[in-house]
Amino acid sequence: MKRWTTKREHQIYSSKLFQALCRSRRTSSSTSAKELHQTADRVLAITAKGTTRWSRAILAAPLTAGTNMKKHKKAKVTVHTRLRKPVVNREKRKLPVVERKLRALRRLVPGCRKLSCNNLLEETSDYIAALEMQVRALTAITEFLSRGLL
């Protein structure tokens, strides 16, 4: 997971992503934010070179054209979180707080719904590091493009 923090990896990812975006612009007249996000995720998964479960899951997932499906799922998870009681009756045997939150975490990291605790840790830390790099790369591309306009 250290690789996500190197400058080299950042350069590889941002130039691959930019290439992919230029290519998609040539084929379709406009790129929606959703398609862009999807492209960014797929290039991120490719950059991972198939070593992690989350990256394989992203590449295996079908390309969703509409926004409805994804947003619907996310809304469900958000509501569930808000309804959850903050204080737990420790006597309760059903669904202790920690296990519930573990499940929520599993849903957030792609392809990890049935993963064991140890592997989940590895996937989560790799996924978080990759997402942080994704943010840095997208910021860099945006800056360069806006500079190009001036």
Partner 1 sequence: MSSRRSRSRQSGASRITDDQIIDLVSKLQQLIPELRGRRPDKVSASKVLQETCNYIRSLHREVDGLSDRLSQLLASTDTDSDQAAIIRSLLM
Q: Which one of residues 49, 68, 85, 149 is an interface residue with partner 1 (CB under 8 A)?
A: 149
d(CA 78, CA 69): 15
- Integer angstrom CA distances of residue 130 from 56, 87, 115, 148: 14, 33, 19, 27
Within 87-116, which residues bind partner 1 (CB under 8 A)?
Answer: 88, 90-91, 93, 96-99, 101-102, 104-105, 108-109, 116
Q: Which span (14-22, 45-53, 61-69) binds partner 1, by CB under 8 A?
A: 14-22
Q: 3-class SS at 87?
A: coil
What is the token pair recorded at 73?
Answer: 């799922």
Minimum distance of partner 1 from residue 92's CB (angstroms): 9
Amino acid, single-letter form, for residue 55: S
- Cβ atoms of residues 133 and 13 within 8 Å: yes
Q: Is 52 in the site for partner 1 (CB under 8 A)?
A: no
Within 59-78, which residues bind partner 1 (CB under 8 A)?
Answer: none
Rg (Cα) of the chain, in Å, rounded? 18
Residues interacting with partner 1, by CB under 8 A?
11, 14-15, 18-19, 21-22, 25, 30-37, 40, 81, 88, 90-91, 93, 96-99, 101-102, 104-105, 108-109, 116-118, 120-121, 124-125, 127-129, 131-132, 134-135, 138-142, 144-146, 148-149
